[in-house]
Copies of this chain bind each other. A is one copy, B any other.
């Protein structure tokens, strides 16, 4: 029951960005240095975050990334879903076809996994990046 480093890294990097409250692009190298996340790995993560619309990129000198200003209410759930390949605790929650045992209709444990999955997503969806960034600023000051 582990959160992948992709999810952790994404959130730590974005929390840092949110705390800056900048409206000009932030250099990814600066973020990597400040957070200790491997640069090239962070590039991959930001690539996904941009494709999913959470980040906006600007290339070339003095380029960088910016939290999408059109989406002021990005949640942790948005972020984790963008970078994590599988957010469900068991594959059979994705669809009937993913059930590996052929007893989909009489499976009682799946209902339990569903409750867990719902509980997790409800926490994830209830926290915004903004609030994390604010808390981070608060703690550093």
Contacts and interface: CB of A to CB of B under 8 A. Distances in A.
Contacts of A38: none
A112 interface: yes
Contact of A123 (B119, B135, B136): B119
A8 B89 CA distance: 10
B124 A2 contact: no
B120 A8 contact: no
B1 A108 contact: no
Contact residues of A: prevailing secondary structure: helix
Copies in the complex: 2
A137 to B, nearest CB: 9
A32 interface: no
A51 to B, nearest CB: 21
Contacts of A115: 123
B89 A3 contact: yes
Interface stretch (A23-31, A52-60, A65-73, A80-88): A80-88
Contacts of A88: 1
A8 B124 contact: no
A74 interface: no
Contact of A2 (B2, B8, B119, B122): B2
Given A76-B112, A111-B135, 6 more contacts: A1-B2, A15-B108, A106-B140, A108-B136, A108-B139, A116-B120
